[in-house]
Structure formats: structure tokens, C-alpha cells
Structure 1
Amino acid sequence: MTLEFRANGAPLPLALKHLIVAGWTGRDAAAIAHHIEELAALGVPAPSQTPLYYRVSAPLLTMAPEIEAVGGASSGEVEPLIVVAGGKRYLGLASDHTDRALEAHSVAMSKQVCAKPCAAELWPWDEIADRIEEIELTSWIEEAGEWVLYQSGTIASIRPFADLIEGSGIVALSEDGPVAMLCGTFGAKGGVRPAGRFRMEMHDPKSGRRIVHEYETIALPEVA
């Protein structure tokens, strides 16, 4: 399946070959511990090490305005998205939508069963490389008909991208074709929780450019 990305407004269609979800990528040890505790409250076991690189099916990445998930226990997380294609790198915006009920049994499986919404716009790496850690990420969820701030931070809160690129092996994987990697996130204000609608934004303070994306989650019946 080909995703119709854009770079500086120009079409950049990419048929992804590989998709990676990097987890536990916080730079601050206290912040990692907080996120582990946050998920432990949902029954999620602590990771064997940090960071971890979960391989998931490439077609999970989607620009659709709606996704479907079984039950009502899934939720999104705003994350920077690294794309490597044709020897070039790009930065984009995605949500690591995850089944929180399944996560208590297997984090890897919980990543695989949910679509990963992303924005169509990508920024060429060389345009933001000198200030990449200043870039801001924000997300909101809809609760009781109102948009509520859910996450907020800068890429400086995440491990250096050079470390994540090396640890994931994304460059070697790109020899097979385009690769994308979700790079981790920040703690949720008020705790991790599901919501029917999720809005996310990436902002470059220097240029004023923004990438935004919003999606709705349709809950499918849980049939036992």
C-alpha cells in the first residue's frame, strides 16, 4: 500500500517496507520511571530494557481520519515519525495508538493490533536538523465534547535521534525500501486513557511551521 506523503507541498508517495515503534525512549530517567508507573497502573509489565524497538506491520501506518479498534480500551500517543526513503530522511507526525487491555499481556502484540495514524506532511531532515530538539509536540483528546490537553513536550525530552536511528537499524532496513519509525512520547496529563477523538500537532518555533492531524476511533464490539 502506498502512502501519499508530501514534502514541502510536493507529492512524495511511499510504499513502506518496514515500520518500527520505539518504546521507552525518554531521555530523563525520572520521566521513563513515571511512564512505566503510569502504564503499570493499567497492568502493563515493566520493559526488559530501555529503549525497545517493536517491529509491526508496515500497512498499520495510515492517514485515514478514522480507525477501528476492538473494544473501548485503546488510546493514542503523539510521537515524532522518522522516515527514511531513497537515501533521504524526513520528520513527520504520528500516533502510537495502542490497545491498553492487550498491553497488560503483551506490549508487542498491543502495538500490532492497532492502526498508527500519521499526518501526510513530512519535513526534509536537512531543513530542521540544526534545531530538531526544539520542535514541540502536543496532543489533545475529546472529553465531554471539549478538547482537553493530553500531552505536551519537545523532542529534547526523547533520546537523541542519532541513538534511536543506530539502535533500531533503520538505515540498514531502508536498503529494502522506505522505512518509518515512531520515536516515543511523553506522559499523559491526567493519566493514560481512551478517547473517541485524538488531535496532534508538531510545531517548529523557528519557522512557525506546523503539522496537524486528527482522527476518530470507532470501537468495534468485543465478542467472546
Structure 2
Amino acid sequence: MFPLRFDVGGEVVEVSVSALLNGGYAGRSQQDVAAHVAELAELGVPAPSRTPCLYPVAPYLAMQTREVPVQHARTSGEAEWALVVAGPDERDVLLTVACDHTDRDLEVHGVAWSKQAGPDVLGDAAWRLVDVADRVDELTLTAWAGGERIQRGTLAELLPPQHWLDELRERDLLRPGAVLLSGTIPMAPEVDQFADSWRVELGDPTSGEVLSCDYRVARMLDPVA
């Protein structure tokens, strides 16, 4: 596995991923989450036994890439933020932008399986969480699928980073090399999520800074079998 490298205010921070986790059904309003679970159940997506969820994913799926190979046309990204534990101290916890690329056909058979079928794409730059912690709810998440805006919201819509730090600590996972993705915000239903490219931005309205990740989706050859 290649280490991830982040530009943190001009400093290059390198992280070898030892644990990768995806949050799911992670809206701040769990009442809204319950309604969403019911909607997905009607589409055939199995309901979780509890919310929010936490899905372990193979560490090698944490990538900084410009291309995501896929096996079919029904895969798509999700706008998310990610926590990256880069060292032993509080100041070593980084916040970056991420896109969880998910196999939607597999999702109806098991959400955990669908998470394992695609990478978690992370941005090349990050902020130290302590530097933005006082305004984290003001940070914005925006995503474009094939050039059309499909997601737009703030981190106030999702469970806060501290929730997940506490969860990692409780599970003895809050150690260098841990990466956790936040779960996502609603998608605009009129935009086709099965696009040939995805771009996600994490913005700080106070500083004007924007972290981004973007990639194209490349269909692989059909199996020879």
C-alpha cells in the first residue's frame, strides 16, 4: 500500500493507512435518517440494525487518484469529509475532503459489500482539525456528477467529527493510520449520479479556502469467462 500524502499549510504530512472506516446513515437528525432508511428499504436496500453505522473497509481502498475503474455503469460517488489520524497528538488529526465511490447494484445485497467494491478517494490537501474545530458546522460540502451539481450542504447536517473521534476511541482505533469517512448529505434526485466524473469540495467560508478531490470514472473491459 502506498502512503497518503497531504499538504497541510505547506507542510507535507505522510500517512500509512492501517484502518479505514466509512460512517453511514450519519445525518445529525436521526429522525430524518430513519425516514431515509425507510425510503431505501422500498428500493431493496437492507435496513441497518442501528444508526449511525460504521463499515470497516480494506485500508488499500483509501486512495488519492484521478481515475476510478468500475465494472459496470451503476456506481457513483458521495460527498464526504474524512478524518485522518496522522500522529499521536490532538494536533495530528487532519480533516480533508473525500468521495466514497459505491457500487449501487451491490448495495441492494449489502451496504458493506458495496463499500468494499470501490475506493474512498481523498483530497491531496488537509486542515488540522483543531484549526477549524470552532467553525466546523459552517464548512460546506459540494459535489458535482458529470459537471452537474448533485450535492450541496454544510457539515451541520452530519454528525460532527467529535462523535466519530469518540467512537474510534471507544473501539481502540484512535491511533495513527486510522482514516474515517463521514457519511454523506442528500443528493439532488434530478441529477444523474451515474456520471463519468465526480468532484467534491470542502469549503471554509471564513478563510475562503477550498479542499477538493476529483476523478473520472473508467469502465473496465468485460470479463473473459
TM value normalised by structure 1 = 0.90
**Secondary structure in structure 1 of the residue aligned to 2:126:** strand
CA distance in structure 2 between the partners assigned to 1:97 and 1:78 by the alignment? 9
The code of the aligned residue for 2:156 comes to A
- For 1:56, the aligned partner's letter is V
Correspondence for 1:31 = 32
Q: Matches of 2:42 and 2:215 in 1, distance apart?
A: 26
The residue aligned with 2:187 is: 188
Which residue identity is paired with 2:179? A
Structure 1 pair 178–148 and aligned structure 2 pair: CA distance change class (3 A): same
1:20 lines up with 2:16 in the alignment: no
- In structure 2, the partner of 1:91 is 95
Contact 2:165 2:174 in 1 (8 A): no
Q: Which moved more, 1:208-217 or 1:184-193?
A: 184-193
Match for residue 111 of structure 2 among 92, 107, 111: 107
Shift of 1:38: 5.2
Deviation of 1:216 after TM superposition, in Å, equals 0.7
Structure 1 unaligned blocks of 5 or more: none
- Measured against aligned partners, the alpha-carbon deviations of 1:32-80 in whole angstroms (never above 9, x if no partner) come to 2454355445421111110111011111111110011111111000101
Q: Which residue of 1 aligns with 2:4?
A: 3
> In 1, distance between residues paired with 2:123 and 2:26?
21
Separation in structure 1 between the aligned mates of residue 193 and residue 145 of structure 2, nearest angstrom: 9
**1:54 pairs with 2:60:** no
Change over 3 Å in CA distance of 1:171–1:179 after alignment to 2: farther
- Output aligned runs, 1:164-175, within 5 Å: 164-169=164-169, 172-175=172-175
Q: For residues 126-159 of structure 1, what are the alpha-carbon distances to aligned partners after superposition, in whole Å with 9 as ceiling and x for unaligned?
A: 21011011100000111xxxx2110111111111
Q: Report how far residue 29 of structure 1 moved.
A: 3.1
Q: Structure 2: which amino acid aligns with 1:12?
A: V
Amino acid at match of 1:209: E
Q: Let me know the Cα RMSD of the aligned residues.
A: 1.9
Using the TM superposition, give the Cα deviation of residue 160 of structure 1 relative to its aligned residue in structure 2, in angstroms.
2.6
Contact 2:82–2:181 under 8 Å retained in 1: yes
Tell me the amino acid that sits aligned with residue 197 of structure 1: S
Task: List gaps (5 residues or longer) in structure 2.
Answer: none
Q: Partner of 2:201: helix, strand, or coil?
A: strand
CA contact (8 A) 1:92 1:123 kept: yes
TM, length-normalised to structure 2: 0.90
Do 1:84 and 1:170's aligned partners in 2 also have CA atoms closer than 8 Å?
no
Distance 1:221 1:41 in 2: 32
The aligned length equals 219
- Contact 1:80/1:93 (8 A) holds in 2: yes
In the TM superposition, residue 93 of structure 1 has moved relative to its aligned partner by 0.5
Q: Which residue of 2 aligns with 1:201?
A: 201
Separation in 1, partners of 2:6, 2:161: 21
Distance in 2 between residues matched to 1:128 and 1:108, nearest whole Å: 31
